[in-house]
Amino acid sequence: MLLSSAVLANAAHNPAVNTAGAGSEVFLGSNRSDSSGTVHLWFKFRQPPGSYRIKYSLVAAGDASIPPVLTTLEVRRCMPGEVAPSPDACVACAAGSYSLHPANSSCDACPPGAACPGGSAISPLPGHWHSAATSSQVHR
């Protein structure tokens, strides 16, 4: 028997989540089962940080009734070394840049007198120093 699947998300249970359409179901993707009846699902979930309820629904051909499966997904906030170019994405800073403030929309250029391998790391070059790993001020 071939099954079709639908993946729906509902953020209604978390009123702190400020998203367009919160409280309504959002279609995330679909797939078909293979000849053995195994359903393979791949989907990308891009939402602002928060808690989301995911409902997997399978619709069988004929009269078969399959109850939906519910699970919860926690979308984390951006971390130091990442920036948020949009409310639903975190991007790691590349070599030559850094971020100590995850809410920024872009990475900062490496300060003079330092090397920045990417992320949140700022490594003073020989003859330079900084007072803390979380300081972007590099001194000679």
Three-state secondary structure readout of the chain:
CCEEEEEEEECCCCCCCCCCCCCCCEEEEEEEECCCCCECCCCCCCCCCEEEEEEEEEEECCCCCCCCEEEEEEECCCCCCEEEEECCEEEECCCCEECCCCCCCCCEECCCCEEEEECCEEEECCCCECCCCCCCCCEC
CA 20/CA 43 separation, integer angstroms? 19
Confirm if 29 and 57 have CB atoms less than 8 A apart.
no
For 26-67, what is each residue's pLDDT tens digit? Answer: 555 556 667 777 766 666 677 888 888 877 766 666 666 778
pLDDT of 54: 79
Please give the pLDDT value at position 24: 43
pLDDT score recorded for residue 45: 73
Model confidence pTM above 0.85? no
Question: What proportion of the chain, given as a percentage, has pLDDT over 90?
Answer: 44
Q: What is the mean pLDDT of the chain?
A: 78
Res 71: pLDDT: 84
